[in-house]
Amino acid sequence: MLVVLSTYLGVFLRKLLVTGGAGFIGSNFVHYVLENTDDHVTVLDKLTYAGNRASLAGLPAERFTFVHGDIANPELVDSLVGNADVIVHYAAESHNDNSLHDPRPFLDTNVIGTFTLLEAARRHDVRFHHISTDEVYGDLELDDPARFTEQTPYNPSSPYSSTKAASDLLVRAWVRSFGVKATISNCSNNYGPYQHVEKFIPRQITNVLTGERPKLYGAGENVRDWIHANDHSSAVLTIIEKGVIGETYLIGADGEKNNKEVVELILTELGQESDAYDHVIDRPGHDMRYAIDSTKLRTELGWEPRFSDFESGLASTIQWYKDNEAWWAPQKAATEAKYVEQGQ
């Protein structure tokens, strides 16, 4: 059964509750929805260090509401879900390094928070879409031609990815046991505007912009399958509108690049020598390769990425960080100080 909630005729507006909507991927989704639909969006965000209210600046007040709060707060969640047509669940603790230093917040948000939302969706019979990651599948060998599919067994390797795997399994159980109208998407690594400077691509871009040398874990051979955040947003909206309840869809744009290639592309785009970076000690359990097979999403739901060329998407992202120093500069010094403490 296809669940279609499209209402672009102006007669009825969907009311979307977007958790984690002040974070990187969530804020890009909010911008995308408000620019491409007639929907109303309510964002629920705890505004931890990764959430930034400035990422939602300038949105139309008549179609956008912000609520500062915790997805693990049952009373608050219930009051918001009761007034929503669709829950789009982006909120997560998502930094692998942080999960190795202190796993507890990842359990609180990724597991208990997801449980709290699912229970509210169950009570109010509200459509639920769960945003997950390809990291739940573990990693692939560098010389393995395979890519992750919806049938790939879970094999998480960090506290972060294991809690995301747990949240995925909760969603599936609530669909099967309680009839919650949910779908799941597992996406490859996102890049684009509004990403915290602790993350790989914006860290390297902002290092160059501030006169610092980029940092590369180990030999830089680790491969990620990159997708622009706008393409992720369009895929999520497609799944909400056309996705089959209970199904999982993998989102990817065929953007495999190793970290060394990405750093060298950033340096070249910014007019630097391509080898002007430093190697730092690799992090524990660093997954070698992620690769997404998004055939199901493309063939069954008709989705295609706009930024199929990683280089053009990266150039657009670099330009955004050049143009928006006021957004990222307040984060930069504290982030680099933390990395220095960790020897990275």
pLDDT at residue 5 tops 50: no
Chain-wide mean pLDDT for the chain? 92
pLDDT at residue 21 tops 80: yes
Q: pTM for the full model?
A: 0.92
Domain ranges of the chain: 15-196+226-255+289-308
3-class DSSP string for 74-122: HHHHHHHHCCCCEEEECCCCCCHHHHHHCCHHHHHHHHHHHHHHHHHHH
Residue 342 has what pLDDT? 67
Residue 14 has what pLDDT? 95
Mean pLDDT (whole number) for 182-200: 95
Q: Which residue has the tokens 């790989």?
A: 200
Say which of 160, 191, 194, 321 is annotated catalytic: 160
How far apart, in Å, are the Cα atoms of 132 and each of 27, 91, 227, 279? 16, 10, 14, 30
Is position 35 annotated as part of the catalytic site? no
Record: fold of 15-196+226-255+289-308: Rossmann fold (3.40.50)
Phi, psi (5° rounding) for residue 114?
A: -65, -40
Q: Which residue has the tokens 């909010």?
A: 30
Is position 32 annotated as part of the catalytic site? no
Mean pLDDT (whole number) for 70-96: 95
Say which of 135, 256, 287, 336 is annotated catalytic: 135
Say which of 39, 45, 70, 134 is annotated catalytic: 134
pLDDT at residue 2 tops 70: no
Is position 135 annotated as part of the catalytic site? yes
Residue 12 has what pLDDT? 46
Residue 144 has what pLDDT? 87
Q: Which residue has the higher pLDDT, 198 or 180?
A: 180
176 CB neighbour count, 10 Å cutoff: 10
Mean pLDDT (whole number) for 272-293: 87
What is the total residue count of the chain? 344
Mean pLDDT (whole number) for 250-262: 95
Of the listed ranges 74-83, 139-148, 187-196, 238-247, the least confidently predicted one is: 139-148
